[in-house]
Amino acid sequence: MKSNELQKDLIKIIVDDFGAKLTKPEFNQYVTKLRDYFIKYIIEERKYTGKVLDLFKFDLGKTDIINSVIYYVVENENVKSKSAIDDFLIALNMLFEEVINDKYFNQNLNNLQPFSKLSSEIARKIEKDRIKDLKEKETRPAISNEEYIIIVEYLNNMILNSLKAHEVKIIIKLLLLYGFSFDRIIELKTKDYCSEKGTLSIVYGNITNRLNFILELPYELNKLMKSYLEIRNKRYPNAENLFVTTEGTTITHGFLTYTLDNIKKEYDLQKSKSHDNKNTFTNTGLAKYAVIQMILEGMNQSIILDLTGFKEEQFSYCQDYVNELKNLNRNRYVNHIIRGISTYDDI
């Protein structure tokens, strides 16, 4: 098969077949990587000339998964961190889950999934072979209880004099309570909210098996949502997305940046210091705080992942935080009890 014919077939699979099953944010996140780098790896680096069926069903192996990631890391000048390895592996995994496993099942590749298991091996190879210097993964920490209080105080004092002010307040509340990934916030539709019942429907699961959580919103949040939609529907009656920009377009991940930066500045002023460590006042920092509360309450991991849209790596951070907290509380408890024993002062 000629390379241009193979390229057309791969584009159809990745852009058309796979892309059709994704939301717009997912398309931008996954399809562009695979279209611009995975296809080029197959054709230009691997110089494959066979048919698509043979490629996925028989010829593609673990080495290709590893080498395609390395190709992406090397060829993409914007890749600076090891987290890019995970991003590309997630994109590949999504492609296989949604399209390839059904059409061109390959037992060897199926045994490797999820491909994220290869992340550490790839990072070691890149480092050992001195292929490219990559920064360590940056962990966005959760806000503290003290920072949570500051954020809530800020929200309580907000003047709702614009459409965006309503949205910012609602979205921050959703992050603090439900721990949604920001992609999940972006994907929310107007139809997902029921004003009569005061509920918000959260879609999860894969494309072929969509399920819903029906969340009962707190009274004040539901009241705020109603007043927001009265304003928004007059201005943008045909907008499908629940949250939109002042131009009526889809919001982006930086939608809260200005507000969160202001809250951080206010916190720093109150504490008469600046943050020496990583910034916690981020979308992820707020969401992780909510997930930590869920774990403390005993919520099941799979339910948390389905509800929030978190990746397992993000959940692991929250679980580790809870484990450390419980260990600290356990130590305090033991020392408190022992100090109360009559023999404590005699020893």
Residue 267 to residues 21, 147, 224, 273: CA-CA distances in angstroms? Answer: 42, 7, 25, 9
pLDDT tens for each residue of 280-318: 999 999 999 999 999 999 999 999 999 999 988 788 889
pLDDT tens for each residue of 150-178: 999 999 999 999 999 999 999 999 999 99
Domain 3-128, what fold? DNA polymerase; domain 1 (1.10.150)
Q: How many other CB atoms are found less than 10 A from the CB of residue 162?
A: 11
Helix, strand, coil share of the chain (percent; to 5): 65, 5, 30
- Residue 273 confidence (pLDDT): 56
Higher pLDDT, 23 or 285: 285
- Average pLDDT of span 8-16: 95
Domain boundaries, the chain: 3-128, 145-323
Tokens representing 252 are 């982006």
Tell me which DSSP letter residue 213 carries. E
- Residue 100 confidence (pLDDT): 94
Measured at the CA of 253, the angle between CA 321 and CA 168, to 5 degrees, comes to: 90
pLDDT, the chain, mean? 90
- Residue 2 confidence (pLDDT): 62
- Residue 176 confidence (pLDDT): 98
pLDDT tens for each residue of 100-121: 999 999 999 989 888 888 988 9
Domain 145-323, what fold? hpI Integrase; Chain A (1.10.443)
pTM of the model: 0.65
- Residue 278 confidence (pLDDT): 74
